[in-house]
Amino acid sequence: MILDIDTAYLIKYNLSAHQYTIARLVGEGNWTEVNKYLKASGQSERLREDWAALYNAGYVTAPPGSSIRLTDMSLTTKFKKSHAFGADPFDELFELYPIKVMRPNGSYDYLRVDQHRCRKMYHNIIRRNPALHEHIILCLRAEIHDRSLKNNMPFMKRMPSWLSSEAWQSYADFVESNDMTTLEQKEVGYGEEME
């Protein structure tokens, strides 16, 4: 079994990778895998502490009791919502992505091509990770806003190329360093100073 772990998520909620792994496996109801993992990691004697940490973070419904059984551990909706999608995440990306652009030669080019292949690629990229999906959506919003301001929309990639080249990465630093709630930028006119 392969688990993707977002370290920013762990830091934000003060969890260890070990505690996160336990919560993910318990959330999937994979009890045999949890037991194998605890034995292989040699951390089964620390289960009470890990359970308490998960409870304090708000991911487990009850604190550990006098006897510890993994089947008694149940996750809160807080953890489930942070690791599940309400709808297909590709649909949100597809709706946000520009439909067509006018290329520099004056011809129209449709950007939302090969929807079926793009859906598969996107699901492989995000691998059931809502945090990554949100990051990609923010990067796409930033790119669209930036290209609109600079009149660079004619150079927007088609969706399959955008996904396969991970083009959102070029706006990742911008997203992390700016407040993305408002994408408005101050335009600097001729003769005005930049701050």
Q: Same domain, yes or no, for 104 and 43?
A: no
Same-domain pairing of 70 and 103 = no
pLDDT in tens, 24-78: 888 777 778 888 888 888 877 778 888 888 888 888 887 776 667 777 777 777 7
Structural domain harbouring 76:
7-81
Digit-coded pLDDT (tens) for 101-116: 999 999 999 999 999 9
With beta carbons less than 8 A apart as the criterion, state whether 85 and 133 touch: yes
| Residue 183 included in any domain | no
- 94 & 61 share domain: no
Asked if the structure places residue 189 within a domain, the reply is no
Decide if 13 is inside a domain.
yes
Q: Using 50, 70 and 90 to split pLDDT, how confident is the model at 180?
A: low
Residues 61 and 21 in one domain: yes
Has residue 65 been placed in a domain? yes
Indicate whether 69 and 109 sit together in one domain.
no
Same domain assignment for residues 68 and 115: no
Contacts of 131 (CB under 8 A, 6+ apart): 6, 8, 9, 82
Q: Are residues 73 and 106 in the same domain?
A: no
Residue 172, in any domain of the structure: yes
In SS3 terms, the chain reads as: CCCCCCHHHHHHHCCCHHHHHHHHHHHCCCHHHHHHHHHHHCCHHHHHHHHHHHHHCCCECCCCCCCCCHHHCCECHHHHHHCCCCCCHHHHHHHHCCCEEECCCCCEEECCCCHHHHHHHHHHHHCCCHHHHHHHHHHHHHHHHHHHHCCCHHHCCCHHHHHHCCHHHHHHHHHHHCCCCCCCCCCCCCCCCCC
Question: Distances from the Cα of 63 to the Cαs of 38, 58, 145, in angstroms?
Answer: 19, 10, 46
- Does one domain contain both 72 and 106? no
What integer best gives the mean pLDDT of the chain? 81
116 in the same domain as 93: yes
Residues in the chain: 195
Average pLDDT score over residue span 113-136: 89
Asked if residue 153 belongs to a domain, the reply is yes
Out of 81, 112, 134, a domain closes at 81
Residue whose entry in the numeric block shows the structure tokens 């994979």: 30
pTM, two decimal places: 0.61
Q: Is residue 1 part of a domain?
A: no
Give yes or no: residues 32 and 109 share one domain: no
The structural domain count of the chain equals 2
14 lies in the same domain as 70: yes
- Flag whether 51 is in a domain: yes
pLDDT for res 142: 92
- Does residue 166 register a pLDDT over 90? yes
